[in-house]
Amino acid sequence: MNHKMIESGNVAAALAVRLAGAEVIAAYPITPQTPLTEKLSQMITRGEMDAEYVAVESEHSALAVCIGAASAGSRSFTATSSNGLLYMSEQLHWAAGARLPMVMCVVNRGVGAPWSVWNDHQDAISQRDAGWIQVFAKDHQEIVDMTLKAFRLAELTHIPVMVNYDGYYLSHTYMPFELPDAADVKAFLPPYEYLHTLDPERPESLNTVTLPDARHDVNGVKRGGYMDIRHNLHEEMRLAMEVWEEIDADFQRRFGRGGAPIFDLYQCDDAEFVVVAMGTLANQFRDVVDRLRHEGIKAGVLSLQMYRPFPSSHIANLLQSAKGVMVFEKGLSYGNQGALFADLKSALYPFPARPTLHNFITGLGGREIRTEDLYQAVKTSCEPGNQSSPEQTDTPQWIGLQL
Amino acid sequence: MTSPAKTTVLGLTDEELIHPGNRACTGCGLSVLYRIGLKALGRDCIFVVPPSCLTVMQGLYPISATQMPVLNGTFASTAAIATGVRAAMKRRGKKTQVVAWAGDGGTSDIGIQALSGALERNEDIIYICYDNEAYMNTGVQRSGTTPRGGLTTTTPYTGKQEQSKNVPEIVAAHNPAYVATCSASFPLDFHDKLLRAKEIKGLKYLHIQTPCPPGWGCDERMTIEIGRMAVECGLFDLYEIIDGTKRLSEPSERLLNKKQLRPLQDYLALQTRFAALTEEQVAGMQKRIDERWKCYREALKEEGQ
- Quote the percentage of chain B above a pLDDT of 70: 98
pLDDT digit string (tens) for B269-296? Answer: 999 999 999 999 999 999 999 999 999 9
Alpha carbons within 13 angstroms on the beta-carbon side of residue A278 total 32
Q: How many CB atoms lie within 10 A of CB B245?
A: 8
Count of the separate structural domains present in chain A:
2
CA angle A174, A178, A181 (to 5 degrees): 140
**pLDDT, mean of residues B23-50:** 97
Looking at residue A202, what DSSP letter applies?
S
Nearest to B96 among A26, A90, A200 (CB): A200
Question: Is A270 in the same domain as A183?
Answer: no
| Distance to chain A for B54, nearest Cα, Å | 11
**pLDDT, mean of residues B257-268:** 95
- Is the predicted pLDDT of residue B187 greater than 90, yes or no? yes
Helix (H) or strand (E) holding B294: helix B279-304
Global confidence as pTM: 0.97
**pLDDT, mean of residues A163-192:** 97
Residue A133: which domain range? 3-188
pLDDT digit string (tens) for B194-251? Answer: 999 999 999 999 999 999 999 999 999 999 999 999 999 999 999 999 989 999 999 9
pLDDT of res. B305:
57
Which among A115, A170, A183 is positioned nearest to A284, based on CA atoms? A170
Residue A253 lies in a domain: no
Mean pLDDT of the residues in chain B: 95
d(CA A229, CA A215): 12
A219 touches chain B (CB under 8 A): no
- Quote the percentage of chain A above a pLDDT of 90: 95
Please measure the distance between the N-terminal and C-terminal CA atoms of chain A and give it in whole angstroms.
Answer: 53
Lowest mean pLDDT across A137-146, A359-368, B1-10, B189-198: B1-10
CATH number at residue A91: 3.40.50.970
- Is the predicted pLDDT of residue B93 greater than 90, yes or no? yes
pLDDT of res. B5:
62
Identify the sign of the CA torsion A27, A29, A30, A31: positive
Q: Which of A188, A216, A248 is the last residue of a domain?
A: A188
Question: In this complex, do B71 and A198 lie within 8 Å of one another by their Cβ atoms?
Answer: yes
pLDDT of res. B301:
83
Binning pLDDT at 50, 70 and 90, where does residue A334 land? very high
d(CA B105, CA B118): 17
Enumerate the residues of chain A whose CB falls inside 8 A of the CB of residue B77.
Answer: 60-61, 64, 67, 91
**pLDDT, mean of residues B60-67:** 94
pLDDT of res. A245:
98
Phi/psi at A185 (5° precision) = -65, -40
Nearest residue of chain B to residue A220 (CA atoms): B62
Sheet with A263-266: list strands edge to edge: A263-266, A299-304, A273-277, A324-329, A356-362, A397-399
Q: Which of A188, A206, A238 is the last residue of a domain?
A: A188
Which among A5, A13, A6 is positioned nearest to A107, based on CA atoms? A13
A58 touches chain B (CB under 8 A): yes
Q: Which residues 6+ apart lie within 8 Å of A148 measured at CB? A: A16, A19, A20, A180, A185, A188, A189, A251
CATH number at residue A346: 3.40.50.920
- Is the predicted pLDDT of residue B148 greater than 80, yes or no? yes
Residue A135 lies in a domain: yes
**pLDDT, mean of residues B259-278:** 96
Question: Is A307 in the same domain as A390?
Answer: yes
Asked if A70 and A100 count as a contact pair (C-beta separation under 8 A), the reply is: yes
Residue A7 lies in a domain: yes
pLDDT digit string (tens) for A79-97? Answer: 999 999 999 999 999 999 9
Residue A326 lies in a domain: yes
Question: Is A181 in the same domain as A274?
Answer: no
Question: In this complex, do B62 and A217 lie within 8 Å of one another by their Cβ atoms?
Answer: yes
Torsion of CA B241, B243, B244, B250, to 10 degrees: -30
Q: Which of A169, A188, A207 is the last residue of a domain?
A: A188
pLDDT digit string (tens) for A2-34? Answer: 699 999 999 999 999 999 999 999 999 999 999
**pLDDT, mean of residues A221-228:** 97
Torsion of CA B74, B78, B80, B82, to 10 degrees: 120
d(CA A279, CA B114): 34
Nearest to A223 among B62, B67, B91 (CB): B62
d(CA B50, CA B48): 7
**pLDDT, mean of residues A143-147:** 98
SS3 per residue for A362-375: ECHHHCCCCHHHHH
Beta-bridged to residue A301, according to DSSP, are A266, A275
pLDDT digit string (tens) for A288-303? Answer: 999 999 999 999 999 9
pLDDT digit string (tens) for A235-289? Answer: 999 999 999 999 999 999 999 999 999 999 999 999 999 999 999 999 999 999 9
Asked if B79 and B58 count as a contact pair (C-beta separation under 8 A), the reply is: no
Helix/strand/coil for A136: strand
Residue A372 lies in a domain: yes
Domain ranges of chain B: 19-302
Q: Which residues 6+ apart lie within 8 Å of B151 measured at CB? A: B157, B159, B160, B217, B272, B273, B274, B275, B276
pLDDT of res. A375:
98
d(CA A27, CA A273): 42
Nearest residue of chain B to residue A56 (CA atoms): B117
CB pairs under 8 A between A and B: 168
Question: Is A137 in the same domain as A13?
Answer: yes
Identify the sign of the CA torsion A389, A393, A394, A400: positive
Strands B126-131 and B178-183, by their bridges, are: unpaired
Question: Is A80 in the same domain as A168?
Answer: yes
- Quote the percentage of chain A above a pLDDT of 70: 99
Which among A38, A45, A272, A65 is positioned nearest to A171, based on CA atoms? A38
The length of chain A, given as a count of residues? 403
What are the C-alpha distances in Å from B73 to residues A171, B140, B172, B183? 32, 22, 25, 25
Looking at residue A209, what DSSP letter applies?
B
Residue A239 lies in a domain: no
DSSP string, B120-148: HTT-S-EEEEEE-SSBTTTTSB--TTSPT
Fold of B19-302: Rossmann fold (3.40.50)
Binning pLDDT at 50, 70 and 90, where does residue B2 land? very low
Question: In this complex, do A211 and B74 lie within 8 Å of one another by their Cβ atoms?
Answer: no
Q: Which residue type is seen at B274?
A: F
Question: In this complex, do B60 and A209 lie within 8 Å of one another by their Cβ atoms?
Answer: yes
Binning pLDDT at 50, 70 and 90, where does residue B1 land? very low
pLDDT of res. B7:
86
pLDDT digit string (tens) for A193-202? Answer: 888 999 999 9
* Predicted ipTM of the assembly: 0.97
